[in-house]
A and B are shown apart, each in its own frame.
Chain A
Amino acid sequence: KAGVTQTPRYLIKTRGQQVTLSCSPISGHRSVSWYQQTPGQGLQFLFEYFSETQRNKGNFPGRFSGRQFSNSRSEMNVSTLELGDSALYLCASSSAPGRVGTEAFFGQGTRLTVV
């Protein structure tokens, strides 16, 4: 069974540009969550999707957005990039959100560098 796949693995963008990151969950998983990891702020929750609906959102500006498709694949978009958006972006999927015995499986992340 394939794990969580994030593409691309590495990305370099210029300030002011926008970027789209992709996450394919484990087959059969319908919940996808996104996290930002930086040395200064640590791991911070961005948002969570289930069945194409955003169910939870972290404390990030509106430049950060996401969506989920009918096949559970998810994308996140960051517009008007700032230097502070440089981070490792992690995606996690789970099969039955919130229920006992489920856990989040993480992808290897996308390393975004803004120059």
Chain B
Amino acid sequence: AQTVTQSQPEMSVQEAETVTLSCTYDTSESDYYLFWYKQPPSRQMILVIRQEAYKQQNATENRFSVNFQKAAKSFSLKISDSQLGDAAMYFCAYRRRANFGNEKLTFGTGTRLTIIP
């Protein structure tokens, strides 16, 4: 079974600074997807960034980027120029790649990010 571990229950960062959230995972699969989701107080899960395991290049989305280390099974999220709106719970998630019929996401326990004005 796949597991996802987020070892930082809480993190804080000064506005405009950079913060990195850690995630490790365990799987015997060679092909899979990794995601970072954000859950603000509104409770809606919002996709932040996605990484396909077969791609060596790290994914980036504006101020968000990942450091994907497949051999180490590590998938960290870097948020640059932190903004007040980034305050939320961040979840790392794993999904096995299948041609059809596998949408199951395995989530980590989350990291609560606080932005200090």
Given A33-B104, A42-B110, A48-B104: A108 and B99 interface contact (C-beta under 8 Å): no
What is the minimal beta-carbon distance from B41 to any residue of chain A, in angstroms? 11
CA A35 – CA B46 in complex, angstroms? Answer: 15
Instruction: Considering the complex, give the chain A residue whose CB is closest to the CB of B109.
Output: A42
CA A50 – CA B101 in complex, angstroms? Answer: 7
| 10 A-B pairs in the complex with CB atoms less than 8 angstroms apart | A50-B101, A56-B104, A92-B103, A97-B100, A97-B101, A98-B98, A99-B99, A103-B50, A104-B105, A107-B44
Contact A98 B43, beta carbon cutoff 8 Å? no
Contact A56 B45, beta carbon cutoff 8 Å? no
Instruction: Considering the complex, give the chain A residue whose CB is closest to the CB of B35.
Output: A103
CA A80 – CA B107 in complex, angstroms? Answer: 27
Instruction: Considering the complex, give the chain A residue whose CB is closest to the CB of B46.
Output: A106
How many pairs of residues, A versus B, come closer than 8 Å at their CB atoms? 69
CA A99 – CA B20 in complex, angstroms? Answer: 29
Q: How many residues of B contact A (CB 8 A)?
A: 25
CA A112 – CA B108 in complex, angstroms? Answer: 22
What is the minimal beta-carbon distance from B60 to any residue of chain A, in angstroms? 16
Contact B103 A56, beta carbon cutoff 8 Å? yes
> Which residues of chain B are near A94, meaning CB under 8 Å?
103
CA A31 – CA B44 in complex, angstroms? Answer: 18
- Other A-B contacts than A56-B102, A106-B46, 16 sampled, CB-CB below 8 A, are A42-B108, A43-B107, A45-B106, A48-B101, A48-B102, A56-B103, A88-B43, A92-B103, A97-B102, A98-B102, A103-B35, A104-B47, A104-B103, A108-B42, A108-B43, A108-B44
